[in-house]
Amino acid sequence: MDISNNSIERLCRVFGYLDILEKKDVEFVSSMELAEAMGSAAHTVRKDISILNITGYTRKGYPVSSLKKDLGNRLNLNKTRKACIVGLGRLGSALLDYEKFQEDGFEIVAGFDSSVNKLERIRTDIEVFPMSSLKEMIVSKRIELGIIAVPAENAQAVADRLVEAGVKGMLNFSPTKVTVPKEIVNVNMDFTNALRLIAAKLNK
Amino acid sequence: MDISNNSIERLCRVFGYLDILEKKDVEFVSSMELAEAMGSAAHTVRKDISILNITGYTRKGYPVSSLKKDLGNRLNLNKTRKACIVGLGRLGSALLDYEKFQEDGFEIVAGFDSSVNKLERIRTDIEVFPMSSLKEMIVSKRIELGIIAVPAENAQAVADRLVEAGVKGMLNFSPTKVTVPKEIVNVNMDFTNALRLIAAKLNK
DNA sequence: CTATATTGGTGAAATAATTCACAAGTGGAG
DNA sequence: CTCCACTTGTGAATTATTTCACCAATATAG
Asked if the C-beta of B129 comes within 8 angstroms of chain A's C-beta atoms, the answer is no
A187 and A86 inside one domain: yes
Instruction: Give the distance, in angstroms, between residue B50 CA and nucleotide D22 C1'.
Output: 17
**Cα–Cα distance for residue pair A39/B180, rounded to 1 Å:** 10
CATH of the domain at A104: 3.40.50.720
What is the enclosing helix (H) or strand (E) of B47? helix B42-51
Residue A199 located in a structural domain:
no
Across the range B135-143, mean pLDDT stands at 98
Residue A100 located in a structural domain:
yes
Asked if the C-beta of A168 comes within 8 angstroms of chain B's C-beta atoms, the answer is yes
Q: Which residue's CA is nearest to the C1' of nucleotide D27?
A: B59
Q: Is the pLDDT of residue B1 over 80?
A: no
What is the enclosing helix (H) or strand (E) of B96? helix B90-96
B96 and B36 inside one domain: no
Q: Band the pLDDT of A49: cuts 50, 70, 90.
A: very high
Q: What is the pLDDT of residues B56-88, one digit of tens each?
A: 999 999 999 999 999 999 999 999 999 999 999
- Contact A200/B11, CB-based, under 8 Å? yes
Q: Which nucleotide is nearest to B2 (CA to C1')?
A: D16
Question: Which stretches of A3-133 are DSSP H helices?
Answer: 5-23, 31-38, 42-51, 64-75, 90-96, 99-103, 116-121
Q: Is B39 left (phi over 0), alpha (psi -120 to 50) or beta?
A: left
The residue from B73, B98, B127 where one domain ends is: B73
A69 and A150 inside one domain: no
Sign of CA dihedral A16, A21, A24, A27: negative
Residue A200 located in a structural domain:
no
Task: State chain A's maximal CA–CA distance in angstroms.
Answer: 61
Taking the CA of residue A136 and the nearest CA in chain B, the distance in Å comes to 22
CATH of the domain at A29: 1.10.10.10
The residue from A74, A99, A122 where one domain ends is: A74
Q: How many CA atoms lie within 13 A of A193 on its CB side?
A: 24
The residue from A49, A74, A99 where one domain ends is: A74
Cα–Cα distances in angstroms (integers) from residue A125 to residues A63, A109, A134, A145, B149, in the given order: 37, 10, 18, 19, 23
Percent of chain A with pLDDT over 70: 99
pLDDT at B89: 96
Residue among A168, A171, A174 nearest A154 (CA): A174
Residue among B158, B157, B129, B136 nearest B146 (CA): B158
**Cα–Cα distance for residue pair A101/A107, rounded to 1 Å:** 6
**Cα–Cα distance for residue pair B141/B163, rounded to 1 Å:** 15
Asked if the C-beta of A181 comes within 8 angstroms of chain B's C-beta atoms, the answer is no
Residue among B189, B8, B17, B152 nearest A171 (CA): B189
Cα–Cα distances in angstroms (integers) from residue B180 to residues A32, A42, B167, B168, in the given order: 19, 19, 11, 10
Q: Is the pLDDT of residue B2 over 90?
A: no
Residue B199 located in a structural domain:
no
Q: How many domains does chain A have?
A: 2
Burial A87-115, CB ≥16 within 10 A → b, else e: bbbbbbbbbbebeebeebbbbbbbbbbbe
Residue among B155, B150, B164 nearest B118 (CA): B150
Residue A102 located in a structural domain:
yes
A89 and A70 inside one domain: no
Q: Is the pLDDT of residue B203 over 80?
A: no
Cβ atoms within 10 Å, residue B188: 19
- Contact A171/B16, CB-based, under 8 Å? no
Q: Is the pLDDT of residue B55 over 90?
A: yes
- Contact A168/B204, CB-based, under 8 Å? no
Residue A158 located in a structural domain:
yes
A67 and A99 inside one domain: no
Q: Is the pLDDT of residue B46 over 90?
A: yes
pLDDT at A203: 77
Taking the CA of residue A123 and the nearest CA in chain B, the distance in Å comes to 13
A47 and A97 inside one domain: no
Across the range A110-123, mean pLDDT stands at 96
Please answer whether residues A125 and A111 qualify as being in contact, where contact means their C-beta atoms are separated by less than 8 angstroms.
Answer: no
Helical axes A42-51 vs A5-23, angle rounded to 10°: 100
pLDDT at B178: 95
Q: What is the pLDDT of residues B99-119, one digit of tens each?
A: 999 999 999 999 999 999 999
Q: What is the pLDDT of residues A150-174, one digit of tens each?
A: 999 999 999 999 999 999 999 999 9
A24 and A109 inside one domain: no
Mutate which of B36, B198, B201 to test chain A, going by most A C-beta atoms within 10 A?
A: B198
For residue B141, the enclosing domain spans 81-194
Residue B14 located in a structural domain:
yes
Residue B163 located in a structural domain:
yes
Asked if the C-beta of B123 comes within 8 angstroms of chain A's C-beta atoms, the answer is no
A95 and A166 inside one domain: yes
Q: Band the pLDDT of A57: cuts 50, 70, 90.
A: very high
- Contact A83/B8, CB-based, under 8 Å? no
DSSP string, B168-186: SEEEE-SSSPPP--TTSEE
B120 and B37 inside one domain: no
A95 and A184 inside one domain: yes
Contacts of B174 in chain A (CB under 8 A): none
Q: Is the pLDDT of residue A94 over 80?
A: yes
B55 and B85 inside one domain: no
Q: Report A:19-48 residues touching B (Cβ under 8 A).
A: 37-39
Q: pTM (2 decimals)?
A: 0.95
Q: How far is CA B1 from the centre of its chain?
A: 21
Q: What is the pLDDT of residues A178-197, one digit of tens each?
A: 999 999 999 999 999 999 99
Burial B105-140, CB ≥16 within 10 A → b, else e: bbbbbbbbbbeeebbeebeeebebeebeebeebbee
- Contact A98/B90, CB-based, under 8 Å? yes
On strand C, nucleotides with any atom < 7 Å from a protein CB are 5-11, 16-21, 24-27
More confident residue, B79 or B204: B79
A149 and A113 inside one domain: yes
Burial A153-167, CB ≥16 within 10 A → b, else e: ebbbebbebbbebeb
The chain-wide mean pLDDT, for chain B, equals: 97
